Structure 1
Amino acid sequence: MGDMNKTIISTAHAPAAIGAYSQAVKVGQTVYVSGQIPLDPVTMEMVGPDFDEQATQVFTNLLAVAQASGGTLANAVKLTIYLTDLGNFASLNEIMARFCDEPFPARAAVQVSALPKNAQIEIDAVLCLD
């Protein structure tokens, strides 16, 4: 592993890391995107309490990091979605369909008891660049 070619991806168009992590790490043609919550990248404040608004901001943040890595969400091969209420699953699918085209990436969606800053949704991603 000492020879691993690792590139740190960073963009001002997505929220700055608020802990000991990078927005994304690229190894070869694979990009590992850290979990995104509904923070506005300019103000670093949460968007409103509406789930649809939060989910839209999360996908917007993911897209910004994907673009900074040289890709788009079309390069996503795996998403892990964390929800504080699985009752928002149908809304999640509608919003995801606005950002991701078929063939859709593999994904997992799980309900968790809490997320940072009381977010209702967090998503991380793995991208494979062409």
Structure 2
Amino acid sequence: MTRFSIHTPNAAPPAGPYSQAIRAGDLVFVSGQLPLDPEGFLVGAGDIRAQTRQVFANIEAILRAAGSSLDRVVKTTVFLTNLDDFAGMNDVYASVFKQPYPARSTVETGRLPGGMLLEVECVAQVERTAP
């Protein structure tokens, strides 16, 4: 199976040796996205809703670059530094996706760098005509 890296300047750049996403066949695997703007600066310090919106803006840009969209997401994994932020994250999440919602796992993690409250990764289908 052929696989290739997806990169867009419209989302936060990778902070290490990994791709924003990998396309493999008809699936795109989006790496964990943080609440960083395309220049790599934290958005919404201390505000779970603002950080969640930025994370999904990054995911949307990466999916678009891969020939997909938020409507084609089939699975997400949400990492929260504090499960007390679940309701705020979930409010934004519910505004991003429509039914049927993607499958999802949500876990509390020890910590993330630089005041980041969450990280989200996902898997989506791509259009068959996408490059």
TM over 0.5: yes
Q: State the distance in 1 between where 2:6 and 2:110 align.
A: 29
Aligned pair partner of 2:108 in 93, 111, 116: 111
SS class of match (2:8): coil
Q: State the distance in 1 between where 2:24 and 2:37 align.
A: 27
SS class of match (1:70): coil
Normalized against structure 2, the TM-score is what? Answer: 0.92
Aligned-pair RMSD on alpha carbons?
Answer: 1.0
**Deviations 1:93-126 (Å, cap 9, x if unpaired)?**
1101221111100010000110133310000001
Aligned pair partner of 1:44 in 40, 46, 53: 40
Aligned pair partner of 2:70 in 60, 73, 81: 73
Aligned pair partner of 2:89 in 92, 102, 105: 92
Aligned residues: 126
Instruction: Say whether 1:101 aligns with 2:121.
Output: no
Normalized against structure 1, the TM-score is what? Answer: 0.92
Aligned pair partner of 1:12 in 4, 9, 12: 9
Gaps of 5+ in 2: none
Q: State the distance in 1 between where 2:44 and 2:54 align.
A: 10
Question: Which residue of structure 2 aligns with residue 32 of structure 1?
Answer: 29
